[in-house]
């Protein structure tokens, strides 16, 4: 039996022999909503990922202070500190993304449901995106407080937020793919950073280069357009790839 005999949902037609015809299919949006509710509900009920990632970010900032031996950073150094901190916090989140499902059999529970498997990809990616955004709400002000020299204006913050959201989308997609791969391996926590960090280097490049002028002492030049565009391209390509490949990761 070849892998090409994967499922091809077609329009419902009566099965031979007069067996009950209409397959009851739950639409994608409903399935994603259900999964997201569970995902966010679990995190709110028993917070693990977001507090850990947020705390890790703040601790990393403190480590940077001592490692760089500076009280203040600006420009490209500031951008670097911020992006490294966020990236490493994301590694924690990615490692944990599928663990609860894997351990409590939730994945089977989903696979038994009459719904498109893509729902899981979308729900996990959106969930991770939400977690990353929540962490940034804490980490970015902490960074501004602890280490940032110049005080950016509202417009600058808005641009920074836009860049962060684009980057978060990319991290969320890659994170969902790598998280799904990693949960099946034995050395889960080791393998996630090894695989995810090289894949996320374009995000770091675009993020850091884009953020540098925003955090510079002499504010003036805004965000060069090429960096959000690069992030957008990255998100698009890996989003499509994830859509095409995710089924192969969760179906047996």
Partner 1 sequence: MAAPPAAIELDGLTRRYGERVALDAVTLAVPAGATLVVFGPNGAGKSTLLRVLATLLRPHAGAVRILGRELPAEGWAVRGRIGLLTHEPLVYRDLSGRENLRFHARLHGVGFGRVEALLEQVGLHRRADDRVHTYSRGMVQRLAVCRAVLHDPAVLLLDEPRANLDPAAADLVEPLIGAESGRTRVVTSHDPAGGLAEADLALGLRGGRAALVGPAAAIEPAQIGALYR
Partner 2 sequence: MLYGTRLRALSIATLVTMIAALGLAFFYAPMDADQGFMQKIFYVHVPMAMVALCGFVFGGIMAIQHLRTGDARYDMRSYVAIHLSLILGVGVLLTGAIWAKASWGHWWVWDEPTLVSFLIVFLLYATYQPMRFSIEDREKQSRYASVFAIIAGAFVPLNFLAVRLAQAYTHPRVFATADGGLPAKMQLPFYLSLLGMAMLYVTLWRYEMASKNTSAKLRSLRRKLGGDEAVAPVGRTAAPTLPSA
**124 SS3 class:** helix
71 binds, among partner 1, partner 2, none (CB under 5 to 8 A by kind): none
**9 SS3 class:** coil
The only residue of 12, 30, 68, 237 in contact with partner 2, by rule CB under 8 A? 237
Total interface residues for partner 2 by CB under 8 A = 32
CA dihedral 46, 50, 56, 60 (to 10 degrees): -170
Counting every residue written for the chain, the total comes to: 252
158/194 with CB nearer partner 2: 194
**Minimum gap (Å) between residue 93 Cβ and partner 1:** 17
CA dihedral 127, 129, 132, 138 (to 10 degrees): -90
- Region near partner 2 per CB under 8 A, out of 29-37, 47-55, 72-80, 229-237: 229-237
Binding mask 20-49 for partner 1 (x = CB under 8 A): x--xxxx---xx-xxx-xx--xx--xx---
99 binds, among partner 1, partner 2, none (CB under 5 to 8 A by kind): none
Compute φ and ψ for 148, nearest 5 degrees: -80, 130
Q: Under 8 Å CB-to-CB from 176, ≥6 apart: which residues?
A: 97, 121, 124, 125, 128, 242, 246
Residue 251 touching partner 1 (CB under 8 A):
yes
Distance CA 187, CA 179 (A): 12
Binding site for partner 1 (CB under 8 A): 1, 5-9, 12, 15-20, 23-26, 30-31, 33-35, 37-38, 41-42, 45-46, 100, 104-106, 108-115, 251-252
């Amino acid at each position: 039996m070849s892998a090409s005999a994967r499922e091809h949902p077609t329009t419902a037609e009566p099965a031979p022999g007069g067996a009950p015809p209409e397959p009851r299919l739950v639409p994608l949006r409903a399935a994603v909503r259900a999964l997201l509710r569970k995902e966010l509900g679990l995190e709110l009920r028993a917070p693990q990922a977001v507090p850990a990632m947020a705390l890790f970010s703040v601790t990393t900032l403190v480590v940077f202070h001592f490692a760089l031996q500076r009280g203040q950073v600006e420009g490209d150094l500031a951008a670097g500190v911020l992006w490294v901190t966020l990236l490493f916090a994301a590694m924690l989140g990615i490692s944990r993304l599928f663990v609860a499902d894997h351990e409590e059999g939730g994945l089977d529970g989903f696979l038994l449901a009459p719904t498109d498997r893509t729902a899981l990809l979308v729900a996990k990616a959106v969930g991770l995106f939400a977690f990353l955004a929540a962490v940034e709400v804490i980490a970015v002000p902490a960074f501004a407080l602890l280490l940032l020299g110049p005080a950016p204006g509202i417009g600058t913050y808005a641009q920074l937020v836009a860049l962060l959201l684009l980057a978060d989308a990319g991290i969320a997609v890659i994170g969902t793919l790598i998280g799904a791969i990693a949960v099946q391996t034995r050395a889960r926590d080791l393998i996630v950073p090894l695989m995810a960090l090289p894949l996320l280097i374009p995000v770091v490049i675009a993020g850091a280069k884009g953020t540098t002028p925003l955090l510079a002492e002499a504010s003036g030049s805004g965000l060069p357009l090429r960096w959000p565009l690069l992030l957008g391209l990255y998100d698009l390509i890996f989003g499509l790839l994830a859509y095409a490949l995710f089924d192969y990761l969760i179906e047996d």
